[in-house]
Each structure stands twice: as structure tokens, then as C-alpha cells.
Amino acid sequence: MEETLIRYKDVEINQEDHSVLCDVNLQLCKGEFLYLIGKVGSGKTSLLKTFYAELDIKNGEAEVLGYNMRTIKKKHIPNLRKKMGIVFQDFQLLTDRTVYDNLYFVLKATGWKDKKEITSRINHVLSQVEMETKGYKMPNELSGGEQQRIVIARAILNSPQIVLADEPTGNLDVETSQSITKLLQSICQSGASVIMSTHNIALIEKFPGRVLRCDEHQIVDVTHEFNNNVNN
């Protein structure tokens, strides 16, 4: 039987006392690639934030990587987040240091001590995202697509079980968007589950996955709509 990493049952998600999503029922299994679609403000980012305990859950049952998200203690949140990689649309790289030092900083902050092991891990993830020659560069010397590859490298440093990508292609051109989605799919094939929110329907048609739509405060599985399009 497939391992379930996220399980939400009748979950309600509020943002500043407003109900953003209600009756959320979803599960994410190991090795799955899941798209979240929906208009701006439909709750995609709020949903992602509940997975890493940035936003509280009021009602329902919610389990992420074995943690009960209704009762998770503050001291356990760093451990939960260590098992996740988060890819933001706006990169959030440290602009005052090189690519290598950005990645070094994350590993040190998450408890890595051995310099040799750190260097080896950084080289490994840079080669995974095809950026092995860019470690010495500053973020502002890279294109948008290259910066996003570094953000993905940072997200997979600790071999996460889940990668959450919030509009990772939002600011990128068509070709770069496709290469970033392809990269996320290859990360999924190598063992991590991926949840990617996107407005880009063409990407879903080119790189199929399961598709959930946030609409009218609800989440609906609309995978069949895309499968039909792909098959026609």
C-alpha cells in the first residue's frame, strides 16, 4: 500500500478570521506529483502554508508527515520543516553571498557540521539541478531561471519527503517554465512528492500530474479534465 504523507479530512482553513477553504479533503501519497490551480486569492498559498505550520488549522483532521497539525507543538515545527523543501516564486536567496554560501548557510542552520560532507552535498544538489558550474556566482549574476534552479537545489538539500512549490514559474518565460517543471518532475521521480501551485495550464497539459482546483472555498479534484484534454 502507498504511504500517505498528507491527509486532510473536513479541514477548515482561516486567514484572519475569514474562512479561505472549508471541507478540505485531500491526501498526498509518496512519489506523487500534485498541481494546485485556482484564481488569485482562492486559497492555494494558504493551503500550502498549513502544510508547514505557517497557518493554523481550526477544524477537521490534518496530518502531515506523521504530525497532527491541529496539535503540533512549536518545538516540533523545525523538524517537520526539515522534511520539506519550499520553493517560493520570489526566490528569497541571500543576495550578499554566493550560490555556494547560500546553500552552505542552510546546511549549517539545519545541523550539518562536517565541512567535507557539506561540500559534497552542495556539489551533488547543484549537479542535480544542472548548475554545478555556478557555485561561485552571486544571485544577481544569474538569470531568473537559474535563480529558481538554485532555489530548488536549496529546497532538496536535506532530501525532503515533500517539495512545496508556490508558483515556481510565475515570473519565468515559457521555455524556462517548462525546464523548471521538468526538473521538479525529475525530483519527484527520484523519491520526493511534489505539490506545485500554478496558473499555467499549458504546463499541466505537457507534464501531467494529479490536479486539484481551489474554487468557491472548496477543493475539487479535476484531474480527469486534463486527462481528457491530453487524450483528445
- Tens digits of residue pLDDT in 33-76: 999 999 888 899 999 999 999 998 989 999 999 999 999 999 99
As a whole number of angstroms, the distance between CA 13 and CA 153 comes to 30
Residue boundaries of the structural domains of the chain: 1-83+160-232, 93-159
End-to-end Cα separation, the chain, in angstroms: 32
Superfamily of domain 1-83+160-232: P-loop containing nucleotide triphosphate hydrolases (3.40.50.300)
Whether the per-residue pLDDT at 97 is higher than 90: the answer is: yes
Q: What φ, ψ does residue 32 adopt, rounded to 5°?
A: -90, 150
Q: What average pLDDT score do residues 211-223 get?
A: 93
pTM for the whole thing? 0.93
190-to-22, 80, 143, 155, 232 alpha-carbon distances in Å = 33, 20, 26, 14, 30
What is the pLDDT confidence band of residue 2, given thresholds at 50, 70 and 90? confident
